[in-house]
Amino acid sequence: MDNVVKSPNQRVNFSVLGADLVEWLIVCLLCAVATAGVAVMTGSVVSAAVVGVVVFIASAAVVALL
């Protein structure tokens, strides 16, 4: 039996912008490295930009959930 009783009204703390500047610095660095890597490997700026946007959205969602 579970000894921990949780409140049914407890909500998850969700913030799209995030509170910590270091988190967003890490997100931007991850996005920049991924974009640069794709640009070097493929030679295409458009595909690199698309990958950068996708990585940014995914990492921003992770930071918002943390």
5 located within any domain: no
Give the pLDDT of residue 40. Answer: 92
Residue 20 to residues 4, 16, 57: CA-CA distances in angstroms? 30, 11, 17
39 located within any domain: yes
pLDDT digits (tens, 9 = 90+) for 7-24: 666 565 555 555 677 788
Please tell me the distance from the alpha carbon of residue 31 to that of residue 42, in angstroms, as a whole number.
16
Give the pLDDT of residue 41. Answer: 92
Displacement of CA 7 from its chain's centroid (Å): 29
Please tell me the distance from the alpha carbon of residue 14 to that of residue 2, in angstroms, as a whole number.
26
Alpha helices in the chain (DSSP H): 21-42, 45-65
Give the pLDDT of residue 15. Answer: 57
3 located within any domain: no
Give the pLDDT of residue 59. Answer: 85
6 located within any domain: no
Low-confidence residues in the chain, pLDDT < 50:
1
